[in-house]
Amino acid sequence: MALRSVLWSLPFAMLVAWLLARSRLRGRMLLDVLVHLPLVLPPVVVGYLLLVVFGTQGVLGGWLLERFGIQLVFTSAGAALATAVMSFPLVVRAIRLSLEAVDPGLEEAARTLGAGPWDRFFTVTLPLMLPGVLAGSVVAFAAGLGQFGAVITFAANIPGETRTLPLALYTALQTPGGEALAARLAAISIALGLLGLAAAELLMRRARSLLGR
């Protein structure tokens, strides 16, 4: 579910990061604030807002249900959406930083060598920002595993459907005799987190040595 959320949010995050880093759009400030909002709001508030917007009675949710029969509330897709929204600022941040580190002069060089906009993006810009994007995604993935407030508010805690790792952990703690299970889940959680951070660090190092920085 965390993986799904990262995959879904990546293209959007790239677009937003591009807008924030390169464009001289007038609403840039507003967009910046909006993107970073989930970082400062209590997760429950984000879950609540998602309910309002994407709930079966919500503006978008109702339309989605009617037109496509897609229900997000209380489903795993909904849990992914909630996770994506929560980790969005992290991904955007990482992509934006790596995009700003790409020398626009290299894109100019590609232009004079005959490369059009998309060609330039895929052959120069993207490969150069890829390490940052990957590292950002890994961190977002790890953070996504820990989403709690927004998920439980928006997608509830349904076994096998929307019960994420922290939700399971919480449930185990609430259940008499669940301490052993809780400990195991906690161990998994720690291991996944460590793995994510280590993977991110490794990716950055590989990229750096490749580019000779």
For another protein, the closer of residues 112 and 174 by Cβ is 112
**75 vs 125: CA distance, rounded Å:** 37
For another protein, the closer of residues 184 and 208 by Cβ is 208
Alpha helices in 146-178 (DSSP H): 149-154, 165-174
Whole-number minimum distance, CB 53 to another protein, in Å?
40
Interior/surface letters 25-41, b for 16+ CB within 10 angstroms, e for the rest:
eeeeeebbeebeebeeb
For another protein, the closer of residues 64 and 204 by Cβ is 204
Whole-number minimum distance, CB 119 to another protein, in Å?
8
Whole-number minimum distance, CB 117 to another protein, in Å?
8
Whole-number minimum distance, CB 34 to another protein, in Å?
32
For another protein, the closer of residues 109 and 195 by Cβ is 109
For another protein, the closer of residues 108 and 201 by Cβ is 108
> 152 with 167: CB under 8 angstroms?
yes
Whole-number minimum distance, CB 92 to another protein, in Å?
23
Q: What distance lies between CA 62 and its chain's CA centroid?
A: 24
In the DSSP assignment, the letter for residue 102 is S
Q: How far apart are the first and last CA of the chain?
A: 35
Q: 42: left (phi > 0), else alpha (psi -120 to 50), else beta?
A: beta
- What is the residue whose two structure tokens read 């490749």? 210
Q: Which of 160, 167, 155 is nearest to 77 (CA)?
A: 155
**76 vs 107: CA distance, rounded Å:** 41
Chain residues that interact with another protein, rule: CB under 8 A: 103, 105-106, 108-116, 119, 123-124, 127-128, 210-213
Whole-number minimum distance, CB 107 to another protein, in Å?
10
For another protein, the closer of residues 130 and 173 by Cβ is 130
